[in-house]
């Protein structure tokens, strides 16, 4: 595969790649291999053990014996990915920071290409300190490596045109490179149990007002049904809505597009969570009440979203009970149709 070359890059720059993990012994070997294959010459990999009870830490120690670029950091106390990332940020020595998750994959030019994009953006705007890429979403299938042959022209993303609903708008911490001075003293909010990377990036965007993005799929996000974000909906996941409420308040006085997209996210997330509870057969009255309190009568949030023509969201806002009845009816119909297909087969 041909790789882009940029002879003007400062190849003496040290990059710090932060990888939190917890009970990830099944996916860590491939993650370690992907990281070790990076084409950038100066890297440190900060592997942060977030309370593992399996052999994950031992796998990292074994890697450290043969590759001094790897370091193991232990996060004390119960699992908290925000705390783990904060520990690594305090320990990182690099001029540039990248993130990855232990169950995902990155292509060999992940770090190099993002740095190239960042430097390209600085030619136009020296104040740019963040470069992002697109990710491929893949259902876990035992994939062991990842290659990206995409080619695209970078674009500047300004806060005035940013929407939390658009696929090209970055909303996570991985799939990006950050100049250390761009992060400064900002840290992940340890009071939330999920979606802290979404809040972290939103806070950075609020501060810096723009970043440069390339639609090349340099990162591969592996969907795991057992992760916090993919598992059964419970009170932990409600933190996602609390995070969106905080972001909505953060952007309350920003330009129209970004302000209303932020305002609508808690409402839409709460409606989707309520439907998910019903489809999972989970009966949690307290959680349902908390969700309904978020989305009921929030017409403005729905009106200024891509879902403004959806009957589902309007019904939820007007009458949570009617919405629940409609979802239960839909589930019964879907289950009956599924049983019929099984019987015929």
For each of the domains in the chain, give its residue range(s) and CATH number, in order of start.
15-223 (3.90.550.10), 264-344 (no CATH)
Residues 58, 83: contact at Cβ < 8 Å?
no
User: Radius of gyration of the chain from Cα atoms?
Assistant: 21
Is pLDDT larger for residue 114 or for residue 343? 114
Other C-beta atoms within 10 Å of 21: how many?
Answer: 26
For residue 122 the two structure tokens come to: 């600085």
Residue whose token pair is 């917890």: 22
3-state secondary structure 217-277: EEEEEEECCCCCCCCCCCCCCHHHHHHHHHHHHHCCCCCHHHHHHHHHHHHHHHHHHHHHH
Closest CA to 327 of 277, 292, 291, 289: 277
12 burial via Cβ count (<10 Å: 0-12, 13-18, 19+): exposed
Query: What pLDDT is recorded for position 338?
Result: 67
**Tens digits of per-residue pLDDT, 219-251?**
999 987 544 445 577 777 899 999 999 999 999
CA distance 228 to 236: 8
Q: Does the structure show a pLDDT above 50 at 1? A: no
CA distance 49 to 172: 20
| CB contact at 8 A, 314 and 302 | yes
Residue 341 has pLDDT above 70, yes or no: no
The whole-angstrom distance between residue 57's C-alpha and the CA centroid of its chain comes to: 23
pTM for the predicted model, two decimal places: 0.90
pLDDT in tens, 247-296: 999 999 999 999 999 999 999 999 999 999 999 888 888 888 899 888 87
Calculate the alpha carbon distances from 149 to 2, 108, 152, 165, 279 in Å.
9, 11, 10, 26, 39
Percent of the chain clearing pLDDT 90 (strictly above) = 72
Q: How far is CA 69 from the centre of its chain?
A: 25
Q: Which residue has the higher pLDDT, 75 or 297?
A: 75
Mean pLDDT for the chain? 90
Q: Which whole-number Å values give the CA distances from 200 to 85, 90, 233, 250, in the listed order?
A: 11, 15, 23, 12
The DSSP output letter for 107 is -
Q: Are 177 and 114 in contact (CB under 8 A)?
A: yes
């Amino acid at each position: 595969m041909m790789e882009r070359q940029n002879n003007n890059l400062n190849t003496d720059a040290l990059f710090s790649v932060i990888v939190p993990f917890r009970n990830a012994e099944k996916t860590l070997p491939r993650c370690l291999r992907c990281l070790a294959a990076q084409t950038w010459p100066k890297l440190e990999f900060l592997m942060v053990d977030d309370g593992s009870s399996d052999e994950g830490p031992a796998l990292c120690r074994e890697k450290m014996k043969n590759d001094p670029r790897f370091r193991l950091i232990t996060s004390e106390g119960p699992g908290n990915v925000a705390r783990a990332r904060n520990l690594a940020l305090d320990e990182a020595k690099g001029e540039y920071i990248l993130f990855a998750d232990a169950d995902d994959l990155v292509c060999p030019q992940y770090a190099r290409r993002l740095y190239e994009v960042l430097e390209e953006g600085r030619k136009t705007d020296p104040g740019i300190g963040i470069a992002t890429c697109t990710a491929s979403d893949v259902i876990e299938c035992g994939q062991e490596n990842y290659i990206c042959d995409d080619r695209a022209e970078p674009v500047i993303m300004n806060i005035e045109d940013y929407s939390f609903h658009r696929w090209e708008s970055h909303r996570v911490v991985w799939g990006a490179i950050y100049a250390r001075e761009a992060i400064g003293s900002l840290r992940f909010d340890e009071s939330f149990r999920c979606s802290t990377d979404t809040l972290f990036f939103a806070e950075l965007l609020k501060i810096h007002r723009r970043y440069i993005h390339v639609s090349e799929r340099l990162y591969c996000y592996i969907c795991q049904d057992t992760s916090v974000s993919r598992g059964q909906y419970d009170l932990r996941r409600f933190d996602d809505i609390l995070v969106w409420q905080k972001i909505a308040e953060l952007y309350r006085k920003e330009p129209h597009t970004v302000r209303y997209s932020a305002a609508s996210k808690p409402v839409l997330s709460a409606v989707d969570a309520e439907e998910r509870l019903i489809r999972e057969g989970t009966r949690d009255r307290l959680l349902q009440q908390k969700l309904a309190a978020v989305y009921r009568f929030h017409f403005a949030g729905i009106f200024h979203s891509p879902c403004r023509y959806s009957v589902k969201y309007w019904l939820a806002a007007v009458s949570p009970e009617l919405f629940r009845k409609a979802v239960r009816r839909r589930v019964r119909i879907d289950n009956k149709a599924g049983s019929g297909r099984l019987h015929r087969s």
